[in-house]
Amino acid sequence: MRARLLLPVIFLALPLCGCASGIKVQTDYDPSVDFSGIQTFNVLEAAGSSDMDSFTESRVMSAIVTAMQAKGFRRDSSNADVSVGFHASTTQETTLQTVSTGGWGGYGWRGGWGGGMSTSTTTAQNYDVGTLVIAIANSSGDMIFQGSGSKTLSSGNVAPDEAQQNINEAVAKILADFPPGG
């Protein structure tokens, strides 16, 4: 289906990210589309080579269904008004922190200011950022809405029910502005 090809997108493994409150969301849409006529939707499998395992993919699909139904849309796999696709990826980023010590020595009030030895230490910290992109295409396969959410991922195992809750919250935030003006 053409809708799978319109996801030039990135996503993340959300079960590791903790609650969705810290997720940075961005959305965009086609302003020429009349969103009021949309009643049904279909959810596509993850697009391209996603960073998701099958459990996470299933959880994202479930979260999309839940979020769309909560907005009053009905799932119809055979004749939907729109198709909802998604993709996940992770990227490793680095932050640098520099701490300077010394260099504040002096000779007192009458003696003026003297110099002192100073040292700086810089440490690098690597961390993973995950991004989930959800794209919605009309029945012709043209993208009409795209939302993405990015968050720094935490490490460690997450219980399956907690992972589903985290993904539900993230998907709800990403789809909060769909339909636009609604």
Segments of the chain scoring below 50 in pLDDT: 1-20
Q: Give residue 93's pLDDT.
A: 78
Which residues are 26's β-sheet partners? 148
Q: Pick from 157, 171, 161: which is nearest to 60 by CA?
A: 171
Rounded Cα distance between 127 and 44, Å, is: 30
State the pTM of this model.
0.73
Q: Give residue 6's pLDDT.
A: 33
Q: Give residue 110's pLDDT.
A: 57
Rounded Cα distance between 116 and 171, Å, is: 54
Q: Give residue 141's pLDDT.
A: 93
User: Residue 48 burial (CB < 10 Å; 0-12/13-18/19+)?
Assistant: middle
Angle, in degrees to the nearest 10, between helices 54-70 and 160-174: 50
Q: Give residue 119's pLDDT.
A: 80
pLDDT tens for each residue of 147-177: 999 988 777 788 889 989 989 999 999 999 9
Q: Give residue 107's pLDDT.
A: 55
Q: Which of 155-180 are b and which e, b meaning 16 or more Cβ less than 10 Å from the residue's Cβ?
A: eeebeeeebbbbbbbbbbbbbebbbe
Q: Give residue 103's pLDDT.
A: 57
Q: Which of 103-135 are b and which e, b meaning 16 or more Cβ less than 10 Å from the residue's Cβ?
A: eeeeeeeeeeeeeeeeeeeeeeeeebbbbbbbb
Rounded to a whole number of angstroms, the CA Rg of the chain reads: 23
